[in-house]
């Protein structure tokens, strides 16, 4: 049965859809990386989260960005994210570093999880590339607490560029965490192919990191059985420029809104998001890059070019992400 406290929290979440939290602490974690610890201003426990979850941060400039929670899911008193300042990025990480101060009240979403830790694994290999360590660190904490065998490989440019050093020291000493630095000894570089050469029954792999690292991991695990490999992109990979794929005759697609019967025309160079917005149909979006699933919508008929980095094959039979998906068939029905 729910406790009174949990029921109170649920009411608050339904009413607001977001939470206001206080920035309790900002800490230097590594070169260019700060961690941000958020607590409840009322002192009440925060909604529970699972390892792999992320939250949306609503920044002062109106931008919303997603960051993985990196602390232990057993902690109910705080959420911790870590952000690498990317001067060549879209501006979100710069805004976090430059506009958030200790003591501020920040609006966030409830945690959502599209990178769940496998429940049935009896051994887990976590492979982190750079700031991709954040969701994997939460997983390492959870695996320790569950008593599941795991090892985390953390690849970074250098020791200075690796985050959470003191916090992870105990894990390193116990042999659960192994560092691999680009500027370190050749013999200590991570050989992904060797590490992942032989899938063993009950072992699952989770990885997260930048584009090149993700491609190398995908290549090294390509022979692992379905369902044993889990990953999350924190940035949309570069995509080759596409020609319009919508319909055989390139005239676009008529999308029917199931609840109202309204037909919205999606042009051959448009995605769903643009066309729906122009027709006054609002579907919430966040990353606009196929990474967060905020804009996931069920479709009832039609064919879709998905282009996202979050839905698996089963999801794709039923759902599309309106920010990056495009219609392929001439007609399509959305469950809106």
Task: Give the one residue of 70, 323, 334, 336 binding ligand FES; rule: CB under 6 A.
Answer: 323
Question: C-beta of 291: minimal distance to ligand FES in Å?
Answer: 5
Task: Report CA Rg, the chain.
Answer: 21
Q: Which stretch binds ligand FES (CB under 6 A): 34-42, 195-203, 232-240, 291-299?
A: 291-299
> Is 55 near ligand FES (CB under 6 A)?
no
Which residue from 284, 294, 286, 291 is spatially nearest to 307, judged by alpha carbons? 291
Please list, in sequence order, all residues whose beta carbon lies within 8 angstroms of the beta carbon of residue 36, skipping any fewer than 6 positions away.
23, 25, 26, 80, 81, 82, 83, 96, 100
> Is 92 near ligand FES (CB under 6 A)?
no
> Is 336 near ligand FES (CB under 6 A)?
no
Cβ neighbours of 145 (radius 10 Å)? 12
> Is 286 near ligand FES (CB under 6 A)?
yes
Q: Select the residue whose beta carbon is closest to ligand FES and give its number.
A: 323
Question: C-beta of 204: minimal distance to ligand FES in Å?
Answer: 24
> Is 290 near ligand FES (CB under 6 A)?
yes
Question: C-beta of 289: minimal distance to ligand FES in Å?
Answer: 6
Q: Which stretch binds ligand FES (CB under 6 A): 140-148, 225-233, 260-268, 284-292?
A: 284-292
Q: What is the CA angle 44-49-52, rounded to 5?
A: 150
Task: Give the one residue of 291, 304, 332, 336 binding ligand FES; rule: CB under 6 A.
Answer: 291
> Is 287 near ligand FES (CB under 6 A)?
yes
> Is 288 near ligand FES (CB under 6 A)?
yes
> Is 294 near ligand FES (CB under 6 A)?
yes
Spatial distance between the Cα atoms of 304 and 262, rounded to a whole number of angstroms: 19
Residue number with CB closer to ligand FES (89 or 103): 89
> Is 80 near ligand FES (CB under 6 A)?
no
Q: Which stretch binds ligand FES (CB under 6 A): 70-78, 211-219, 235-243, 288-296?
A: 288-296
> Is 68 near ligand FES (CB under 6 A)?
no
Q: Which stretch binds ligand FES (CB under 6 A): 130-138, 139-147, 156-164, 286-294?
A: 286-294
Tally the C-alpha atoms within 13 A of residue 222's C-alpha that lie toward its C-beta.
7
Residue number with CB closer to ligand FES (59 or 293): 293
Residue number with CB closer to ligand FES (205 or 311): 311
Q: Which stretch binds ligand FES (CB under 6 A): 105-113, 226-234, 249-257, 281-289?
A: 281-289
Q: Which stretch binds ligand FES (CB under 6 A): 47-55, 143-151, 252-260, 287-295?
A: 287-295
Binding site for ligand FES (CB under 6 A): 285-288, 290-295, 308, 321, 323
């Amino acid at each position: 049965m729910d406790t009174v406290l949990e029921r109170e929290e649920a009411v608050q979440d339904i009413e607001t859809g977001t939470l206001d939290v206080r920035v309790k602490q900002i800490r230097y974690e590594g070169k260019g990386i700060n961690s941000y610890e958020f607590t409840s201003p009322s002192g009440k426990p925060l909604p529970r989260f699972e390892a792999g979850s992320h939250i949306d941060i609503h920044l002062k400039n109106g931008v919303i960005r997603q960051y993985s929670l990196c602390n232990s899911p057993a902690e109910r008193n705080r959420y911790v994210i870590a952000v690498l300042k990317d001067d060549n990025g879209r501006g979100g990480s710069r805004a976090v570093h430059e506009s958030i101060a200790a003591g501020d009240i920040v609006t966030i979403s409830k945690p959502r999880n599209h990178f769940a830790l496998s429940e049935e694994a009896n051994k887990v290999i976590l492979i982190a590339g750079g700031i991709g360590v954040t969701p994997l660190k939460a997983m390492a904490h959870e695996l320790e607490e569950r008593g599941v065998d795991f090892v985390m490989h953390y690849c970074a440019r250098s020791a200075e560029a690796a985050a959470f050093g003191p916090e992870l020291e105990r894990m390193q000493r116990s042999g659960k965490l192994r560092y691999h630095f680009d500027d370190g000894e050749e013999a200590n570089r991570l050989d992904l192919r060797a590490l992942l050469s032989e899938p063993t029954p009950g072992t699952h792999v989770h990885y997260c990191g930048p584009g090149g690292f993700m491609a190398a991991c995908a290549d090294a695990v390509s022979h692992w059985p379905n369902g044993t490999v889990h990953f999350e992109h924190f940035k949309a990979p570069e995509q080759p420029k596409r020609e319009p794929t919508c319909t055989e005759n390139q005239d676009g697609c008529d999308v029917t809104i199931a609840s109202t019967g309204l037909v919205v025309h999606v042009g051959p160079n448009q995605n769903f998001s643009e066309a729906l917005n122009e027709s006054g149909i609002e579907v919430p979006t966040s990353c606009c890059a196929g990474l967060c699933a905020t804009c996931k919508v069920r479709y009832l008929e039609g064919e879709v070019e998905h282009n996202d980095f979050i839905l698996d094959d089963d999801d794709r039979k039923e759902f599309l992400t309106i920010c990056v998906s495009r219609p392929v068939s001439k007609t399509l029905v959305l469950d809106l």
